[in-house]
């Protein structure tokens, strides 16, 4: 492979010269989609300042990869090593990321102490263990947010009343963790701030309404240091403030911040959302209240589980954003984004005009107001399948539209035949108060092929200066959009990956497979071709061979490497038609690519495309079914 270095040298120098770092804001979000590695937190960087995250090096899939055995295709939910939510803060001058684990109910933290632009295994630690602190803990830990003191607020949905509540965790002792029972200067490091039952003032201000703390979901801390948590049983967003500074809940420190459901008539209800969207907060858990108005019946899970806030100026009230994450099974309000502001500064957003419909991507919500509004990308239009990750920057909202395998509305093919999740920016371009108009929806990233569940949690903005720009690699584009052979022999899908990252002075190992775990493989011997280049050509191969309809050669072929493929012998072994793809051993070939220790290579991009040519089990031709990958060279 020494020749590769010299062939690419001039292109590397040209590609890396004059590189600039664009927008000043990166995005972090939980990732659950890669079934082979990188399950954890991903990072998006707008290196070229074009407002998108789709260029080489702009997606760091392994920014904070979990250090566990990855999930198999049959595993979901708490059986997997996943991240449920993520938060960011500067703690003691150090940029720090916190996250919640779904498999262990741990709150973990990480800091890039070696300055390489990612949080590796040695830089991750347990901040607080709910099972460790509360033996027998069952249920789940929800979301988290960080206040100005560095305290981490965490929601729980615990089975035992003693474990239920809204927790405040802070490393007051400076040892990198919060410990139950530790008190420093009168401050306990672990506090269950809201007990099993708490009260909020009623609408008249003359009495109180009792609420349970067994079903908290979303949580946010705004720029005024208000902690706002979603009590999901009754659909109440509760504002929490420690008014007397005693680190304990007192009557009057929890108030009704936002309520739009019909179950508790004694509470002040938002008149706009409560009338237009009576089921939007329905979790179906309040047995005493039957929610039947509108197209969604009781228990339809038109639920708002995502909430974030942004500040638009030093003097204005914060903006609050709510994303409806209703599932494909219960689609009535999926894809709705609400925007809110406490216009009269009275401590809630329950007054007329304070909550508006910013974007309506729901299939069935067109009964109310405007909509549904598709996501528009060029000539293509999409409706929201499942809104998973959700965030906002300034006055723009970001939604991650999950096109995972459980959803079939927007099956966009990417990479090795899998569907792709997409990140959209919603902007009010014409200043009419919404993002439902033409040109106000922008696809800013096409993300990891979703062989499993899509990401879920908050999309968190982070200052670009907080972390260095690392070396990275990502699946970038399909050479063939989908297998061409008919079912059931449609699983011949070339798969490319990487071990480590392409840093100068190291060897970057490329992994090559004839198909993924669920693939059937070739029926007879064939050929694998790896094409490497530093520039894109995007050649439509059907102009050369009509059988290659839909196949594209992405990189200019600076270097070609060919490998013989066999249907059953090493290095490729994929039993065709296996009913249990998780148990199929998937062998792979590896190809080392040495990167010289030359700093001038930093920032250069390699495009790699791996394709398979042969016959599938139905004896149909497989004409260069392929997947392309981009690799950005770093320190």
- Tell me the pLDDT tens digit for each residue of 595-629: 889 888 888 999 998 887 777 666 666 667 677 88
Residue 378: which residues within 8 A CB-CB, separation 6 or more? none
Place of tokens 């990308």: 377
Retrieve residue 410's tokens. Answer: 């927007």
Cα Dmax for the chain: 81
Residue 487 dihedral angles phi and psi, to the nearest 5°: -60, 150
pLDDT in tens, 62-110: 899 886 544 443 444 444 567 888 999 988 888 999 999 877 889 999 9
> Mean of the per-residue pLDDT values for the chain?
76
Distances, alpha carbon 148 to alpha carbons 11, 153, 172, 288, 566, in Å: 47, 11, 14, 39, 59
Is the sign of the CA dihedral 598, 120, 501, 550 positive or negative? negative
Retrieve residue 31's tokens. Answer: 């990732």
Residue 112: which residues within 8 A CB-CB, separation 6 or more? 95, 118, 119, 123, 467, 468
d(CA 242, CA 252): 10
CB atoms closer than 10 angstroms to residue 248: 14
The mean-pLDDT minimum among 32-46, 211-225, 395-409 falls in: 395-409
Which pLDDT does position 417 carry in this prediction?
A: 35
Which pLDDT does position 284 carry in this prediction?
A: 42
Residue 459 dihedral angles phi and psi, to the nearest 5°: -95, 120
pLDDT in tens, 422-459: 889 999 999 999 998 888 999 898 765 444 444 467 89
Retrieve residue 311's tokens. Answer: 């500040």
Which pLDDT does position 332 carry in this prediction?
A: 54
pLDDT in tens, 395-409: 999 988 765 433 333
* Over residues 229-258, mean pLDDT: 92
Helix (H) or strand (E) holding 145: strand 139-146
d(CA 625, CA 49): 33
CB atoms closer than 10 angstroms to residue 572: 25
Which pLDDT does position 483 carry in this prediction?
A: 44
Determine how β-strand 152-158 pairs with β-strand 166-169: antiparallel
Retrieve residue 508's tokens. Answer: 């970057």
Is the sign of the CA dihedral 321, 326, 327, 331 positive or negative? negative
d(CA 632, CA 118): 14
Which pLDDT does position 387 carry in this prediction?
A: 74
Query: What single string gives the DSSP state of each residue in 220-231?
Result: EE-TT--EEEEE
Residue 499 dihedral angles phi and psi, to the nearest 5°: -110, 120
CB 190 within 8 A of CB 163: no
């Amino acid at each position: 492979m020494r020749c590769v270095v010299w062939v690419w040298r001039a292109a590397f120098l040209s590609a890396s010269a004059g590189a600039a770092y664009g927008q000043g804001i990166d995005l972090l979000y939980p990732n659950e989609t890669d079934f082979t590695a990188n399950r954890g937190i991903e990072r998006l960087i707008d290196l070229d300042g074009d407002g998108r995250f789709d260029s080489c090096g702009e997606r760091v899939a392994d920014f904070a990869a979990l250090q566990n055995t990855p999930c198999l295709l049959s595993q979901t939910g708490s059986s997997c090593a996943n991240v449920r939510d993520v938060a960011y803060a500067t703690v003691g001058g150090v940029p720090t990321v916190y996250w919640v684990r779904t498999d262990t109910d741990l709150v973990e933290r990480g800091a890039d102490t070696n300055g390489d632009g990612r949080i590796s295994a040695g830089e991750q630690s347990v901040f607080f263990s709910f099972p460790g602190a509360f033996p027998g803990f069952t249920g789940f830990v929800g979301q988290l947010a960080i206040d100005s003191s560095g305290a981490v607020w965490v929601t729980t949905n615990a089975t035992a009343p003693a474990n239920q509540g809204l927790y405040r965790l802070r490393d007051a002792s400076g040892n990198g963790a919060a410990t139950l029972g530790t008190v420093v200067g009168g401050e306990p490091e672990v506090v269950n701030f809201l007990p099993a039952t708490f009260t909020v003032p009623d609408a008249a201000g003359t009495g109180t309404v009792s609420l349970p703390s067994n079903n908290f979901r979303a949580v946010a801390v705004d720029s005024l240091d208000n902690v706002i948590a979603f009590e999901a049983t009754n659909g109440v967003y509760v504002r929490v403030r420690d008014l007397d500074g005693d680190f304990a809940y007192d009557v009057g420190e929890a108030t009704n911040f936002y309520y739009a459901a019909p179950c508790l008539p004694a509470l002040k209800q938002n008149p706009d959302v409560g009338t237009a969207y009576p089921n939007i907060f329905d979790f179906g858990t309040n047995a005493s209240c039957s929610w039947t108005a509108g197209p969604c019946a009781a228990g339809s899970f038109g639920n708002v589980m995502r909430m974030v806030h942004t500040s638009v100026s030093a003097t204005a009230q914060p903006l609050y954003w709510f994303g409806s994450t209703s599932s494909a099974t219960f689609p009535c309000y999926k894809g709705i984004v609400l925007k809110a502001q406490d216009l009269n500064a009275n401590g809630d957003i329950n007054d007329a005009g304070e909550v508006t419909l910013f974007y309506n991507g729901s299939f069935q919500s067109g009964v109310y107001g405007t909509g549904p509004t598709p996501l528009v990308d060029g000539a293509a239009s999409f409706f929201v399948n499942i809104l998973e990750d959700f965030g906002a920057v300034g006055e723009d909202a970001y939604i991650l539209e999950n096109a995972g395998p459980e959803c079939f509305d927007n099956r966009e093919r990417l990479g090795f035949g899998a569907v792709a999740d997409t990140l959209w920016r919603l902007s009010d371009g014409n200043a009419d108060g919404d993002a439902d108009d033409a040109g106000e929806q922008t696809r800013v990233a096409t993300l990891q092929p979703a062989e499993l569940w899509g990401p879920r949690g908050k999309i968190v903005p982070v200052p670009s200066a907080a972390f260095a720009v690392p070396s990275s690699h990502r699946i970038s584009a399909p050479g063939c959009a989908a297998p061409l052979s008919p079912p059931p022999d449609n699983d011949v899908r070339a798969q490319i990956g990487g071990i480590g990252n392409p840093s100068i002075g190291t060897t970057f190992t490329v992994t090559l497979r004839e198909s993924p775990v669920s693939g059937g493989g070739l029926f007879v011997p064939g050929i694998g071709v790896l094409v490497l280049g530093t520039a894109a050509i995007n050649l439509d191969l059907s102009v050369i061979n009509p059988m290659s309809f839909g196949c594209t050669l992405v990189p200019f072929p600076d270097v070609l490497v060919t490998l013989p493929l066999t249907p059953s012998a090493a290095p490729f072994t994929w039993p065709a038609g296996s009913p249990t793809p998780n148990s199929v051993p998937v062998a792979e070939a590896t190809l080392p690519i040495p990167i010289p220790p030359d700093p001038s290579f930093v920032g250069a991009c390699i495009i790699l495309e791996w394709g398979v040519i042969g016959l599938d089990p139905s004896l149909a031709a497989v004409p260069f079914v392929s997947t392309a990958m981009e690799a950005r060279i770093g320190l």
